[in-house]
């Protein structure tokens, strides 16, 4: 038996009854369309989450590149142009 916080104690028989009611209510043709739409929504959400991860990595890389450039400048100062 599955014990989810928001559902309380729910078993396989209850899940089966809910699925049958959905099938009767929406019909056999509409259920696959709804599941396809749900799958596309989940895929879009995952793609959106994956797009945000490289952005933060790129910002960290830019910051580390800037820090490395400052360290290099400190080690090899350029001759000053005094006239």
Share of the chain above pLDDT 70, in %: 54
- Compute the C-alpha angle 64/80/62, nearest 5°: 10
pTM over 0.95: no
Does the pLDDT of residue 4 top 70, yes or no?
no
If residue 83 lies in a helix (H) or strand (E), which one and from where to where?
A: none
pLDDT digit string (tens) for 5-43? 566 778 888 888 988 888 888 888 888 888 899 899 999
Q: How far apart are the first and last CA of the chain?
A: 85
| Distance between CA atoms of residues 54 and 25, nearest Å | 43
Q: Which whole-number Å values give the CA distances from 56 to 32, 45, 60, 62, in the listed order?
A: 37, 18, 6, 10
Span 49-61, average pLDDT? 63
């Amino acid at each position: 038996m599955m014990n989810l916080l928001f559902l309380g104690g729910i078993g396989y028989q209850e899940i089966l009854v809910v699925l049958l009611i959905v099938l009767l209510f929406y019909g056999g043709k509409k259920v696959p369309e709804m599941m396809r739409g749900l799958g596309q929504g989940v895929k879009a959400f995952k793609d959106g989450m994956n797009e945000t991860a490289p952005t933060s990595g790129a910002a960290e890389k830019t910051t580390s590149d800037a820090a490395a450039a400052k360290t290099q400048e400190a080690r090899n100062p350029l001759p000053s142009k005094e006239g």
